[in-house]
Amino acid sequence: MTNERDMPMTTGHRRARFPRALRVALAVIPLAGALAGPAAADYGRPERLYLRWSGAVPALAGNVNAYVFAGPTVTVTVPAGQTRRVRGSATAALGLASAGPQLVHVGLCYQSSGGGTINTFSLASHIYYGMDAVRRQFGINDTVVLSGGSWNVGYCVKNLNPIDITNTDKSAGYLVVTPD
């Protein structure tokens, strides 16, 4: 007695094992790849870099007419002769040493990794927050275009008023770096 396993496979048997829809799908796959290949290659691979930071904020002195980083920073490296758009968002838990209130400038800042002046992403977009001795979250979002070089980027504060900011906790934020 013979069964199906003992019989040689014929074309008819193969078709019986694969439904018509599956045969059509298998025939279309190479065609779909040929159509999608060149179009996908035209756009190239997107360059996008995500950076995050989180860490303790030290005490920040009062009567300082300059931005200082409040917590850790990340390094953004831009190839020579190119630019990169940096978009970011950050927050920090801050409070004054005593009652207050007083206004404090908050922003996202960058500085050459070799040192120098700390600059806000945009002079128009830093925020003035009314701060007192209660520790609260103070957030900021901003964007800037950086040119070739290596840059330290992070959350920053300018405290022009006399009361120090000592009731601190953490600063945390992220950046998205893309070609400009």
Whether pTM exceeds 0.75: no
* Domains of the chain listed by start with CATH number: 4-43 (no CATH), 49-179 (2.60.120.760)
Cα distances (angstroms) measured from residue 34 to each of 25, 28, 43, 70, 109: 15, 10, 16, 53, 47
Asked if residue 30 has a cis previous peptide bond (ω within 30° of 0), the answer is no
- Whether pLDDT at 41 is above 80: no
Distance CA 66, CA 159 (A): 8
Other CB atoms within 10 A of residue 178 CB: 12
pLDDT (tens digit per residue) in 60-76: 999 999 999 999 999 99
Other CB atoms within 10 A of residue 151 CB: 23
Lowest mean pLDDT among 44-48, 60-64, 70-74, 81-85: 44-48
Mean pLDDT, all residues of the chain = 82
- Whether pLDDT at 19 is above 90: no
Task: Write down the residue that tokens 């120098």 correspond to.
Answer: 116
